[in-house]
Chain A
């Protein structure tokens, strides 16, 4: 089997554009609803999230499940507006409440009121997250900054290792991966109300670092092939390079996906969306390396009249060894 990367590039690009447009539509919908392209968690906008679980070691404390209505009544009586309440657990013994940022007194009062209504909570199963609005801003901007810095760092590195056009298309592929991952979470945000937290930015950064790998492997091969046979057309070279490296592109992504699937299934609630973002991003990373970065490079070389590289263009290539093959 040989993949027709160049000849069928219209199809590959259409798939990418379709994914990107779907994501953009979802972002548009969210923008209309909440004024943001993704649903931000309290990490970015500030707020308090409380998780309580009834203490079942006490007699008769866990006799009945927690009712959302009962919790709502208490929260409203405390005069706390804009709250979201969710009852959790198989036995419905746990509840999470998300509100605007509460200070220690408001929070203690709310907890006491809830305990008198529902029963005693287990402190060892309590989780409290309070983020002030300014801290949220800070987390968001530092996340964004680190994304930009790593983009710049990777462009610089690729420019040094390869030529500028390689680097630019690798970057286009990266943008593609990031955009689709963000779009995917926008879609989840519309359908499921899924929120993105600071781990989502970590996931994006990891995607940036990892998904460029496959692109590098293919470019490495393209460069090597050009050096070995300078007279060939770039389209043939890219097609061959992609196909020769296909198994390794798929396998390297697959092994990483295996660990991510384990994290997604067993890693607990906190890591679930994190693993999901990485799964989407890594799959897209492999896809864009195989189909997008390579075909764009070929197209560019063809359009700029560099389809057939002169032998001297890559003669400076010192790292890839040229021992004889075949």
Chain B
């Protein structure tokens, strides 16, 4: 009896823990439920790059990340899929037009030079902005609403000017990603650096660019899709010739990660591979909420139907299976939250379906128990052998479902995988609840004198002649 009590406590603890998890840990909802866009971007081979390998794909992914950061979407997910695709998830985007325009098209990497006059301009603008901003607290103290408003609009106008000035500072030089042959991270002594190499034409352009930079005491600007990646200076020793030979090393305060990032951005920008949006799945937020509502109704409806059936048909064991099934639903949902499973609509369908399947084990056990009872065994022995003898069937049926789930998970795409994962998790947890929860509760019930009546387990036990189980 001590073991039963221990297990009961364990189950109770698990239930409490899962309720806490469900309340505390937020459920991760897929884009089809929270609304948003999922775009699949395909990288196509071109004249220069005949085959897309992992190396190219990684670089393209970096380029896409850069573009998405420019969009200002919160919590984007960017993953490579298969050999030549990148999947981008943009939660909360109802109208993906802008994203699609920004994401399509080949990456634009170019090397620009600073214009000294424009730098001076920029500095003046920045100083003016600071002056205006400094005035603000005094005005607020004075409380002159009109003056505050006027100053604020002046600040806004100035900020715009500063932005424009930054764009003016760097001028295109004609040296772009086409000429960059490779980029790689290197360890220079103790610090990380990024080595770049140009082809013949690029080497000449780069030599000119660096020579000019030293002479005018300005920096280079390396831009990817019009965003500044790096602005290195050129050492004075190259004043006469510029950096010749087409090989250069960018040093600075790089960590291993930041060097790798720049390498990937440079390489991605140098790839002349066209990228194309081949799939777009966009669901408006309201539609997602409708789906959540209808799937909750379906889930609860399904659970109630199953519970009602079990209680009506199996009586006392049915009540026990109803409790076990509720525990099952709680544990599974908590497991989703805990493991960070993203719930999609098919995922919810998998969960709802697993409720119906989870009860199967109970059906197998109870039917077996009834058979043993009809064969004239005592109640306790019938229950024991019901659990014992149903085990191989339960195992077989769950293993076959898991095989199908595994096939779905490894070979299926996005939405399909969600279904496979939730169904498989459900199947595994249902094994636990059927064999542990149902069993412990059942044995506990048997320890209560007033419930130890065979007719509560099997109706019409005496009115029918015992059915022969085997010869």
Chain A residues packing against B (C-beta within 8 Å): 103-104, 107-108, 122-132, 134-135, 138-139, 142-143, 145-147, 149-150, 153-154, 157-158, 161, 198-199, 201-202, 205-206, 208-210, 212-213, 216-217, 220, 224-225, 228-229, 232, 240, 244-245, 247-248, 251-252, 254-263, 265-268, 270-271, 274-275, 278, 319-321, 323, 325-326
Contacts and interface: CB of A to CB of B under 8 A. Distances in A.
Contacts of A224: 470
A251 B290 CA distance: 32
Chain B at the A interface: SS class: helix
Contacts of A205: 404, 407-408
- Most chain-A Cβ atoms within 10 A of its Cβ — which of B388, B400, B420, B468? B400
Interface stretch (B204-212, B262-270, B348-356, B449-457): B348-356
15 contacts: A127-B284, A129-B281, A135-B42, A146-B410, A208-B404, A210-B401, A216-B397, A217-B364, A240-B470, A255-B309, A262-B299, A262-B305, A265-B298, A268-B290, A326-B468
B400 A212 contact: yes
Given A127-B283, A255-B310, A139 B413 contact: yes
B298 A154 contact: no
Contact of A271 (B95, B279, B295): B295
Contacts of A138: 82, 413
Contacts of A217: 364, 393, 396-397
Chain A at the B interface: SS class: helix
A93 B104 CA distance: 33
A204 to B, nearest CB: 9
B345 interface: yes
Interface string B352-367: 1101110110011001
B390 to A, nearest CB: 9
Contacts of B80: none
A270 B423 contact: no
Contacts of A252: 359-360, 363-364
B309 A268 contact: no
Given A150-B408, A321-B388, 15 more contacts: A122-B286, A124-B284, A126-B95, A128-B37, A134-B278, A138-B413, A139-B413, A145-B411, A157-B400, A209-B405, A213-B396, A216-B393, A258-B305, A266-B298, A268-B290
A85 to B, nearest CB: 19
A267 B396 contact: no
Contacts of A158: 400
A319 B313 CA distance: 29
B291 interface: yes
- Most chain-B Cβ atoms within 10 A of its Cβ — which of A158, A224, A247, A256? A256
Interface in B304-332: 305-306, 309-310, 313
Nearest to B95: A123
Contacts of A271: 295, 298, 345-346, 349
B95 A154 contact: no
Nearest to A228: B470
Contacts of A122: 284, 286
A311 to B, nearest CB: 14
A243 B12 CA distance: 39
Nearest to A212: B400
Contact of A251 (B352, B367, B412): B367
A229 B97 contact: no
A108 B101 CA distance: 11
Interface in B397-454: 397, 399-408, 410-413, 415-416, 419-420, 423
The 6 A-B residue pairs with the shortest CB-CB distance, nearest first, are A209-B404, A259-B302, A259-B356, A132-B278, A262-B302, A256-B356
B423 A268 contact: no
Contacts of B470: 224-225, 228-229, 240, 325-326
B349 A153 contact: no
A25 to B, nearest CB: 29
